[in-house]
Amino acid sequence: MRRERWNDLILILFLVIGLGVFAFTGIALLESFWYTPVASAEKKEHVASPLTKLDLLERGKLVFQSAGCTSCHLARLEPGGPVVGFPVGPSLSNAGMRRDEKWLREHYIDPHKLVPGSKMNSFAYLPSDELDALVAYVKTFTPRYEPAEEPTIVIPQRFTAEQVERGKALFTSQGCLGCHTIGKSGGPIGPNLTKAGTHGRTDEWQIQHLKDPLSVYVLGPTDGIPWPMPRYNNLSDEDLQALVAYVQSLR
Ligand code: HEC
Ligand code: HEC
């Protein structure tokens, strides 16, 4: 008789606990349906960059400036604007023609994976949406950013007018125009050279770059560049000097 009562009590206790657990999980489950969208929207607001509300390209431009890209790169920040920055890495003029979105994003995150020996640092610390904005912004670096006016020729004293004339002829005969635009003619693969004399590159750099373009930016081999500039190490010293004279006179 006593034992049966105990059994009943234990049964009731289990029922009560079971009901409690059921009700609790039920409410939690319902709550999760009701409140989750609001809660996660609030959470997102906190995690995302404060720049989220700006237009994608405006945001990309701000990230480009604040991340210090111009401490190593020459670029025009807006169509037709002046070239700003320092000539450590390649000019980003027309970089939007040379690189696709996937490459750009991976390169910001891990430059060394795509370009072994690259001196570019990783930007993996940037929030994902800022990386997206940066990719979109650099993709706009195309001929529409470049000036359409013809260059002014200002010959530095160390060069002669004959050298510049010879350089100009070589620029066409050697196929430089196929990739580079000067004024209104040329191709969009390499940087626009209309004002190349203002880029701050030294004559020695220009010679080294003409002989072996990849040697000035990367130490190791690279397989990431779809249209690398060819080596012009077959040209005579006079021809190389003439090309440099022409390029450095473009203002
Ligand atoms: C410390 C110097 C340095 C900084 C800072 C730097 N870069 Fe670079 N960047 C380089 C060098 C060197 C290369 C060439 C080797 C390579 O491709 O990794 C390069 C290559 C590139 C290229 C490929 C250019 C081409 O001709 O195809 C792009 C695009 C680029 N950088 C964008 C950026 C952006 C955007 C930033 C800022 C978020 C940035 N870089 C910051 C040094 C730098
Ligand atoms: C197949 C395309 C191609 C050809 C042909 C070519 N280039 Fe380039 N050039 C590039 C690319 C891409 C870059 C950007 C990467 C770099 O700086 O090496 C570049 C960069 C340059 C730069 C650096 C501009 C700067 O200030 O950042 C100069 C100067 C230049 N080229 C001159 C020449 C000359 C002179 C010739 C002909 C003798 C020539 N290029 C032929 C593709 C080419």
Q: Please check whether residues 115 and 185 belong to one and the same domain.
A: no
Q: Is residue 182 lining ligand 2, measured as CB closer than 6 Å?
A: no
Q: Which pLDDT score is estimated for 42? A: 47
Widest distance between CA atoms in the chain: 123
Average pLDDT over residues 51-56: 83
CATH number, position 210:
2.60.40.420
Q: Is residue 191 lining ligand 2, measured as CB closer than 6 Å?
A: yes
Q: Which pLDDT score is estimated for 108? A: 97
Question: What is the reported pTM?
Answer: 0.84
Among 113, 146, 179, which residue terminates a domain?
Answer: 146
Residue 98 located in a structural domain: yes
Its domain, for residue 182, covers 149-251
Closest CA to 251 of 183, 185, 184, 205: 183
Q: Which pLDDT score is estimated for 13? A: 73
Angle at 203 between CA 197 and CA 205, to 5 degrees: 105
- Cα gap 111→206, rounded to integer Å: 24
Q: Please check whether residues 89 and 105 belong to one and the same domain.
A: yes
DSSP result, 17-63 = HHHHHHHHHHHHHHHHHHHHHHHHHHHHHHHS-TTTTS-HHHHHHHH
Residue 216 located in a structural domain: yes
Residue 237 located in a structural domain: yes
From 146, 217, 229, 244, the mutation candidate for ligand 2 (largest count of ligand atoms within 8 A of CB) is 229
Please tell me the number of the ligand nearest to residue 116's CA: 1
Q: How far is the CA of 140 from the centre of ligand 1 (A)?
A: 16
Residue 32 located in a structural domain: no
Q: Please check whether residues 157 and 250 belong to one and the same domain.
A: yes
Among 146, 181, 204, which residue terminates a domain?
Answer: 146
Taking only the tens place, the pLDDT of each residue in 145-174 is: 998 899 999 999 999 999 999 999 999 999
- Ligand 2, atom 40: nearest CA belongs to which residue? 176
Q: Is residue 217 lining ligand 1, measured as CB closer than 6 Å?
A: yes
Q: Which pLDDT score is estimated for 34? A: 45
- Ligand 2, atom 16: nearest CA belongs to which residue? 90
Residue 74 located in a structural domain: yes
Among 146, 163, 181, which residue terminates a domain?
Answer: 146
Average pLDDT over residues 14-19: 72
Residue 161 located in a structural domain: yes
Q: How far is the CA of 4 from the centre of ligand 2 (A)?
A: 96
Q: Is residue 61 lining ligand 2, measured as CB closer than 6 Å?
A: no
- Ligand 1, atom 30: nearest CA belongs to which residue? 92
Domains in the chain: how many in total? Answer: 2
